[in-house]
Structure 1
Amino acid sequence: MGTAHRKLTSIEICAGAGGQAVGLHRAGFRHLALVEIDKWAAATLRANIKSRPSWSWEREHCLVRETDVNDFKPLKEVPDPEGRRGKRGAGKRMLEPGQLDLLAGGVPCPPFSAAGHQLGRDDERDLFPRMLDLVAELKPRAVMIENVRGLVEPELKFRYYRNHIKNRLRKAGYVICGWRVLEAQDFGVPQLRPRAILVAIHEDHYRGFDWPVPQKRVHRVVDALGPSMERRLGTGTDRFARWHELANLGTVAPTLVGGSKKHGGADLGPTRAKRAWENLGVDGMGVANDEDSMVDPDRDLGTLERGPKLTVQQAAIIQGFPDDEDAEGPWKFIGGKTARYRQVGNAFPPPVAAAVGERISEALNRTGPLRDDPNPEFEPEDDPSLVAPELPLQQGFPSLEDDAEDSARALIG
């Protein structure tokens, strides 16, 4: 039978500032645990869970675990979601294998390329094996893994690595529903942000799965940022008129890039992305201070020749986070400007996560007989031990920066 009689539960690893969590929450999932190593992103999760009325269930039940995902032990740390007590009433029972509905995560690409020094399992950034270990440990009803487009397209480049991941899931009893590239602009996000999504459902719960259908209407940058730009630049001012004139000529934004602690900073991405932003009337050479703490109007608001910089909250609007129009107000980001911008730039757009989450929820709530796996065959693996063959430097594993460069090239030619 399906799961319509109760709330669907989820655990998310590599949760960041909550982009995927927000989307899955909109889709009806209730989070048992959000695991994130960055202290500022973890603080962001705690602050929003504490302050948003619609997250009252999470305030009582959700563990925000600020740790390396390799140190996360869900069967020892996450309480039974059904609130059952242990033997003789001695404390809460812990989560058991098979109880969880969805395990999700935006798992970083493993750095097996020559450029990544081919550290493989010894590289701290390699979290795909840990994700698959957690699947085997938790035995969730469904799995959702998000990554950059370059892991899927071009199809041949990382085929054998993807096969390894799918085969491990098959061995654990999962039906592979597909690994599909979804464009954020097709789901109400004013941004060219392709994401590769893998969905798998356990064979004991598989009654089919349908991918979300793209929306016909594109949400443009000028519409998304219009209210906040009018507030910042002033109604009827020449600055606002100039920004609106340029932004109205464009459609969506290039991919935002948050950078990392070691590389990148608070700006709007590679050179082509900055040029695309310039065409939209925005100065991409930095990020503006918050509206209530602006000290240099020319720097933050620009001139008639140079457009305004985005604030962190405006970048969050471009990602599809809750904003001022949301009944509970905008999603809050904790930390200094650069830390907050990185949280936004590295996020999974909530509307895309919501669209996929709704389809997973629908699939898990189906009733009737189980279906056979339409593609049960194991696929050939070039690298079954996860020790990659020698790769030329240009075949290094893809990054979000690659998506940003490609999206900017698509916008400006």
Structure 2
Amino acid sequence: MKSVELFAGAGGLGIGLHQAGFSPLNVIEWDRYCCDTLRENLARRVKSLKDWGEITEGDVRIVDFKRYEGKVQLISGGPPCQPFSLGGKHQAYDDTRDMFPQAIRAVRDAKPKAFIFENVKGLTRATFRNYFEYVRLQLEHPTVTAKDQEDWMSHLARLERHHTSGARPDLHYRVVTRLLNAADYGVPQRRERVIFVGIRDDLNTEWSFPKPTHSIDALLWDQTRGDYWDRHRVAKRDRGLNSRFLVRARNLEEKPSEESWRTVRDAIEGLPDAEKNPSAAKQFLNHRQQPGARSYPGHTGSPLDEAAKTLKAGVHGVPGGENMLFRPDGTVRYFTVRESARLQTFPDDFLFHGSWSETMRQLGNAVPVMLARKVGESVAEQLRRAA
């Protein structure tokens, strides 16, 4: 099935959707470093970008999406999230970086069978609730556009009236949204993203978000009554749970049905220590130790035997933010780019272009590949049934 990817970044969402069965005709991204990463991997013919079409480096606002009408089944992307980030200035609808209007225009002009858009958890903040609803209604009714000089609240009221009128002869999508934790879908990282999925109203199909496949309770069970420590050959002196999980683990009466949350140790298994053995680390792409890691208030690193904290894009103080490993002995070090890519479930043959801080920015802004794949597979299955 063919697609168009907007705001592609380093390709996390696109790679996951490609693994789910979608092949992008066009991948659009304005950031040249991200485009360099994508182009370099295309030139290297990595499997994860097989059958990808052109890479368009530039402003999405000048792209003609009408030429894709009838040619693509999916529009996907992650509209820039800075307006809604918990770490940003929270300008939301007054922020010129808000690219949701362009995502909606792409849907309106290309008329795909479905779309998948993602954004940060901050979009669900109470202060943004009205704008969240505004975005959702525009995605449901993309042809009900704002009039000249009409402010967004007036447009929202008109969309609400249209939505409740019962008359929907124009282009219409059934839209569902959910806040998903990537760790619940096998990603070794606690990363929450808001996902918008829309399926065109004329398709005879039903859809819901896939059920979580992994849980923290399953991990706690594995670490207290299973073979987690033996499997990883961890010495008994280094075994144990963080105190905040002890009561929860003791209260588990039966083994959970889900798989265990994956930990940092799970993710980086098989990678040589780039600090202690740099020559062996050279066998892996982007696996070089960056010096200078230190803890400071609010940024203490990710414990080895837990799902990682959310990787950040490097705008939170020290470059790389809290993208550090917290060792059992209490020391910290930065994750290498390859380790961070593992935490984001990028394949090992995917090469990131740029300096350490630049590549960490690309990774910190990315959608975990495995999360995108799980959602994409569910959408692809429904589209095949509706064909």
- Aligned residue among 47, 50, 53 for 2:43: 50
* 8 A Cα contact 1:142 1:201, kept in partner: yes
| TM-superposed deviation, 1:174 | 3.1
Aligned to 1:333: 352
- Aligned residue among 17, 20, 37 for 1:24: 17
Aligned to 2:110: 138
**Structure 2 counterpart of 1:100, one-letter code:** V
* 8 A Cα contact 1:177 1:209, kept in partner: no
Aligned to 1:69: 60
3-state SS in 2 of match to 1:340 = helix
| TM-superposed deviation, 1:119 | 8.7
Quote the Cα distance in structure 1 between the aligned partners of 2:134 and 2:335: 41
3-state SS in 1 of match to 2:308 = coil
Please report the RMSD computed on the Cα atoms of aligned residues, expressed in angstroms.
Answer: 2.9
Aligned to 1:198: 196
Deviations 1:368-406 (A, max 9, x none): 8xxxxxxxxxxxxxxxxxxxxxxxxxxxxxxxxxxxxxx
**Structure 1 counterpart of 2:339, one-letter code:** Q
Structure 2, unmatched stretches of 5+, are: 143-170, 214-257, 279-300
Aligned to 1:388: none
Deviations 1:224-256 (A, max 9, x none): 113224465359xxxxxxxxxx98863111001
**Structure 2 counterpart of 1:167, one-letter code:** L
3-state SS in 2 of match to 1:308 = strand
Give the TM-score taking structure 1 as reference length. 0.64
- Aligned residue among 346, 365, 384 for 2:365: 346
3-state SS in 1 of match to 2:197 = strand
Aligned to 1:356: 375
Write out aligned runs for 1:102-181 (5 A).
102-109=74-81, 111=83, 116=89, 120=93, 123-152=95-124, 156-172=126-142, 173-181=171-179
Quote the Cα distance in structure 1 between the aligned partners of 2:33 and 2:10: 8
Deviations 1:319-354 (A, max 9, x none): 11112xxxxxx2111112211111111111000000
3-state SS in 1 of match to 2:116 = strand
* 8 A Cα contact 2:314 2:321, kept in partner: no
3-state SS in 2 of match to 1:252 = coil
* 8 A Cα contact 2:84 2:122, kept in partner: no
| TM-superposed deviation, 1:265 | 5.5
| TM-superposed deviation, 1:214 | 1.2
Quote the Cα distance in structure 2 between the aligned partners of 1:117 and 1:48: 34
CA gap 1:221/1:334 in 2 versus in 1, 3 angstroms? same
| TM-superposed deviation, 1:72 | 2.1
Residue 40 in structure 1 maps to residue 33 in structure 2: yes
Quote the Cα distance in structure 1 between the aligned partners of 2:132 and 2:364: 26
| TM-superposed deviation, 1:198 | 0.5
Aligned to 2:232: none
* 8 A Cα contact 2:79 2:118, kept in partner: yes
* 8 A Cα contact 1:98 1:138, kept in partner: yes
Quote the Cα distance in structure 2 between the aligned partners of 1:268 and 1:116: 17
CA gap 1:56/1:169 in 2 versus in 1, 3 angstroms? closer
| TM-superposed deviation, 1:108 | 2.3
Deviations 1:20-74 (A, max 9, x none): 011011101001111111111001111112223533422xxx1101112112223
* 8 A Cα contact 1:110 1:128, kept in partner: no
**How many aligned residue pairs are there?**
289
Write out aligned runs for 1:244-323 (5 A).
250-259=305-314, 266-269=319-322, 277-278=325-326, 280-281=327-328, 306-323=331-348
3-state SS in 1 of match to 2:271 = helix
3-state SS in 1 of match to 2:360 = helix
CA gap 1:44/1:249 in 2 versus in 1, 3 angstroms? closer
Quote the Cα distance in structure 2 between the aligned partners of 1:151 and 1:247: 25
Q: Say which structure, 1 or 2, has more relative contact order (CA 8 Å, 6+ apart).
A: 1
Runs of 4+ in structure 1 displaced over 6 angstroms? Answer: 246-249
Quote the Cα distance in structure 1 between the aligned partners of 2:369 and 2:136: 25
* 8 A Cα contact 1:30 1:57, kept in partner: yes
Structure 1, unmatched stretches of 5+, are: 1-7, 76-94, 236-245, 282-303, 324-329, 369-413
